């Protein structure tokens, strides 16, 4: 026990003089507590030593675990690296295998003979069938050897042929030289044979004159003249080509007149427009000087006479506008029959519309040369369509026949081509289209003459398309304008779809039976019969009905518009329009005869059933049987 504690205890004992017994008791308790404290101190030291020992053991075990974990991770990393190496080797081997599988040898591009021909033609020392039949590789090598052998033989043959060709060319040159020496003698013979040509009516001299005049034609007309003559001699003996115009003036035109736009300006054009407004218009619609110079035609022109099978003649007159560098054409039909009998068909044979849309979207009202737009702005010409009646139509096919090819993707014309190859590629097809156009228009003209008298002409080849008895009759057939057609309520779906164009022809027909009146509005494309007519229907019977309100009227429109191939008739299908009208009459009969009668009305039916039908109606729309079955004479649904 420390000295300080004893001093304190002694002080307390001295101050407590009255209790000696208590002092003794306190001294004994203090000794006991000191012993306990000492014992506790020894125990705590032992515990601290044990704690340090356990802490040291924990650290050693942790280090040992970390070392073991590190060794295991190293082993795993080594194994993972070995795995990645193996996978890389596998991927590399797979790529090499795929390269080997996809490898294409040069011999695969060689067209080798078949195996049958190889074993048949190749000698035994090359084919070796005992080895090659069981080994595809040896077979391929043998076939390649045989191919090499054949090519060596062909190369030798080629050399021999080349040597023979050179010998033949030398002999040809010698013969050509001999023929050139005969030219003066032949000219003398031709001059001596002129009286014989006149007596036998052989136009050798006339052909020579045409050839001489043709030298003064502008390049497009010359190309057309040459190609038309060649086509007429080779393919079409009924095509006659002639040259007309002032030859002396053509000879005097050594240089083409300069374009007016070279010395004009925008102010000059405005002054010309002001002068033009002040001038009085003449009866002939004369052009002013600048415009006349711009629209000047070459003094020479070409005339084509294309004779058809029925004796009708299509006359074409081709002109060349010098400053505009385009060709125009005028047409005229000379038929063996009177073309003034059908009033509604007058539009069909007009020279202004006869050749319209011979090719798709080729209306012939605007110039195909993009440069002309700038030329027109210089002299105040608004549109070439105002001068078409006087100058002719600049159809695109006319430019092609003359070898003129105008680029359409740029506003600047560069390198306008004039080539005989372009003309030759379009000549045959254009002549066929021209002859087909004349035949179709004349056939329509003849049909319209009958339709205006309420007669539907049906040829004997097409009688099987219709039943023997048709009670509905055509009572009216007239021509209408595009505005009148667009004002009809039941044609709105056609105009909204863009199927009614300015170049089309429009007609109206009325089919009647009893109190029922069916009106048909017809759109006739200029390319008929290649593009079929389009019918729109309206029925006035017990109220007004149309395809919008009546499913059966829509089905009738489908019969004549959609199933038109059944009504085409013999090629090329000139009877399509009249067959469509006849089918319309038959469908009206079926429509009226299969209509249910009102039970409240007594007496006989207004339209008794004359047609045999398997079923009168079908489906939720109650469609009627409009399809005619010729062998059985029955009407059925589609």
Per-residue pLDDT tens over the stretch 131-151: 888 888 888 888 888 888 999
Mean pLDDT for the stretch of residues 543-572: 89
Confidence band, pLDDT 50/70/90 cuts, at residue 271:
low
- The pLDDT of residue 234: 84
pLDDT in tens, 159-176: 999 999 999 999 999 999
Q: Region 298-322: what's the mean pLDDT?
A: 89
Quick one: pLDDT band at residue 317, thresholds 50, 70, 90?
very high
3-state secondary structure 173-207: HHHHHHHHHHHHHHHHHHHHCHHHHHHHCCCHHHH
How far is the C-alpha of 342 from the C-alpha of 330, rounded, in Å?
23
pLDDT of residue 83: 95
Place of tokens 């069916």: 518
Across residues 483-496, what is the average pLDDT? Answer: 91
Strands 627-629, 516-524: pairing kind = unpaired
Per-residue pLDDT at 260: 44
Contact (CB, 8 A) for 306 and 313: yes
The Cα–Cα gap between 443 and 295 comes to 37
pLDDT of res. 463: 86
Please give the average per-residue pLDDT across 527-546, as a whole number. Answer: 91
Tell me what pLDDT residue 534 has: 94
**Average pLDDT of the residues in 418-447:** 84
Q: What is the mean pLDDT of residues 183-205?
A: 74
Give yes or no for a cis peptide into 529 (omega within 30° of 0): yes
Lowest mean pLDDT segment, chosen from 404-413, 479-488, 553-562? 404-413
* Token digits of residue 557: 């429109």
Q: Classify 318 as helix, strand or coil.
A: strand
Cβ pair 440, 603 in contact under 8 A: no
Cα 194 from Cα 203, distance rounded (Å): 10
Lowest mean per-residue pLDDT among 240-249, 579-588, 590-599: 590-599
CB-based contact 445:339 (threshold 8 Å):
yes
More confidently predicted of 112 and 275: 112
pLDDT for 343 equals: 66
Convert the pLDDT of each residue in 50-101 to its tens digit.
Answer: 999 999 999 999 999 999 999 999 999 999 999 999 999 999 999 999 988 8
**Model confidence pLDDT, tens digit, residues 599-638:** 555 557 778 888 888 888 888 888 999 989 888 888 888 8
Mean pLDDT value of segment 238-254: 84
pLDDT for residue 603? 55
Mean per-residue pLDDT, 475-497: 92
* Distance separating alpha carbons of residues 204 and 225, to the nearest angstrom: 17
Q: What is the mean pLDDT of the chain?
A: 83
- Mean pLDDT over 418-435 rounds to 80
**Side-by-side strand order, sheet with 505-513:** 473-480, 505-513, 516-524, 534-540, 544-546
pLDDT score of 427 more than 70: yes
Neighbours of 354 (CB within 10 A): 21
Residue 20 clears pLDDT 70, i.e. is over it: no
Highest mean pLDDT among 54-63, 111-120, 197-206: 54-63
Check pLDDT > 60 for residue 106: yes
**pLDDT (0 to 100) of residue 261:** 46
Q: Percentage of the chain surpassing pLDDT 90? A: 31
Q: What is the pLDDT of residue 268?
A: 56
Query: CA 523, 529, 532, 537 torsion: positive or negative?
Result: positive
* Cβ–Cβ under 8 Å, residues 391 and 321: yes
Closest CA to 618 of 599, 597, 594, 598: 594
* CA–CA separation, 60 and 71 (whole Å): 17
Q: Is the pLDDT of residue 565 over 90?
A: no
Could you give the CA distance from residue 354 to residue 333 in angstroms, rounded to a whole number?
9
Query: Of the given ranges (205-209, 394-398, 569-573), which has the lowest mean pLDDT?
Result: 205-209
Outline where DSSP puts E strands in 390-527: 404-405, 417-418, 473-480, 505-513, 516-524
Confidence of residue 26 (pLDDT cuts 50, 70, 90): low
Sign of CA dihedral 211, 213, 218, 224: negative
pLDDT value for 618: 87
Q: What is the pLDDT of residue 413?
A: 41
Whose structure tokens read 């053509």? 250
Q: Which two tokens stand for residue 150?
A: 């054949």
Lowest mean pLDDT among 57-66, 349-358, 573-582: 349-358
Q: What number of other Cβ atoms are within 10 A of residue 600's Cβ?
A: 5
Q: Between residues 12 and 143, which one has the greater pLDDT?
A: 143
């Amino acid at each position: 026990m420390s000295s300080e504690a004893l001093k304190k205890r002694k002080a307390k004992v001295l101050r407590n003089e009255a209790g000696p017994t208590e002092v003794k008791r306190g001294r004994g308790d203090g000794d006991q507590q000191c012993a306990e404290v000492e014992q506790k101190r020894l125990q705590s030291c032992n515990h601290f030593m044990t704690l340090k020992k356990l802490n040291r053991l924990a650290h050693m075990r942790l280090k040992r675990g970390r070392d073991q974990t590190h060794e295991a991770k190293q082993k795993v990393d080594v194994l993972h690296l070995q795995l990645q190496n193996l996978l890389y080797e596998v991927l590399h081997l797979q790529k090499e295998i795929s390269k080997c599988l996809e490898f294409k040898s040069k011999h695969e591009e060689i067209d080798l003979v078949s195996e049958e021909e190889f074993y048949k033609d190749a000698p035994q020392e090359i084919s070796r069938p005992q080895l090659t039949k069981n080994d595809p590789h040896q077979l391929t090598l043998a076939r390649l050897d045989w191919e090499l052998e054949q090519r060596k033989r062909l190369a030798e043959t080629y050399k021999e042929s080349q040597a023979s060709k050179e010998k033949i060319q030398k002999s040809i040159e010698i013969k050509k030289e001999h023929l050139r020496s005969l030219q003066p003698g032949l000219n003398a013979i031709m001059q001596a044979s002129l009286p014989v040509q006149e007596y036998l009516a052989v136009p050798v001299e006339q052909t020579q004159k045409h050839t001489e005049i043709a030298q003064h034609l502008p390049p497009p007309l010359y190309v057309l003249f040459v190609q038309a003559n060649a086509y007429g001699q080779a393919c079409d003996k009924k095509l006659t080509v002639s040259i007309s115009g002032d030859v002396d003036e053509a000879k005097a035109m050594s240089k083409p007149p300069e374009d007016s736009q070279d010395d004009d300006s925008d102010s000059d054009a405005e002054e010309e427009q002001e002068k033009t407004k002040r001038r009085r218009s003449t009866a002939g619609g004369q052009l002013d000087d600048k415009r006349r110079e711009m629209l000047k035609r070459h003094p020479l022109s070409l005339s084509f006479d294309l004779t058809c099978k029925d004796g009708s003649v299509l006359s074409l007159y081709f002109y060349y506008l010098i400053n505009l560098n385009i060709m125009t054409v005028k047409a005229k039909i000379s038929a063996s029959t009177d073309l003034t009998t059908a009033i509604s068909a007058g539009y069909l044979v007009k020279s202004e519309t006869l050749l319209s849309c011979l090719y798709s979207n080729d209306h012939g009202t605007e110039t195909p040369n993009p440069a002309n737009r700038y030329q027109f702005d210089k002299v105040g010409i608004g549109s070439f369509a105002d001068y078409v009646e006087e100058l002719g139509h600049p159809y695109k096919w006319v430019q092609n026949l003359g070898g003129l090819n105008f680029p359409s993707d740029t506003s600047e014309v560069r390198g306008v081509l004039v080539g005989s190859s372009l003309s030759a590629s379009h000549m045959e097809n254009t002549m066929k289209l021209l002859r087909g156009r004349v035949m179709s228009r004349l056939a329509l003209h003849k049909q319209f003459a009958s339709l205006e008298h309420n007669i539907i002409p049906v040829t004997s080849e097409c009688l099987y398309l219709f039943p023997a008895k048709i009670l509905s009759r055509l009572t009216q057939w007239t021509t209408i304008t595009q505005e009148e057609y667009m004002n009809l309520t039941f044609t709105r779906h056609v105009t909204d779809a863009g199927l009614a164009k300015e170049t089309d022809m429009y007609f109206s027909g009325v089919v009647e039976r009893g109190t029922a009146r069916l009106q048909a509005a017809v759109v006739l494309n200029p390319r008929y019969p290649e593009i079929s007519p389009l019918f729109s229907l309206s029925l006035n019977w017990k109220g007004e009905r149309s395809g919008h309100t009546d499913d059966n009227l829509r089905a009738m429109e489908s019969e004549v518009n959609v199933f038109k191939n059944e009504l085409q008739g013999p090629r090329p299908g000139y009877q399509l329009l009249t067959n469509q009208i006849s089918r319309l009459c038959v469908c009206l009969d079926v429509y009226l005869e299969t209509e249910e009668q009102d039970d409240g009305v007594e007496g006989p039916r207004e339209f008794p059933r004359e047609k045999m039908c398997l079923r009168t109606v079908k489906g939720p729309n109650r469609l009627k049987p409009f399809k005619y079955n010729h062998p059985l004479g029955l009407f059925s649904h589609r």
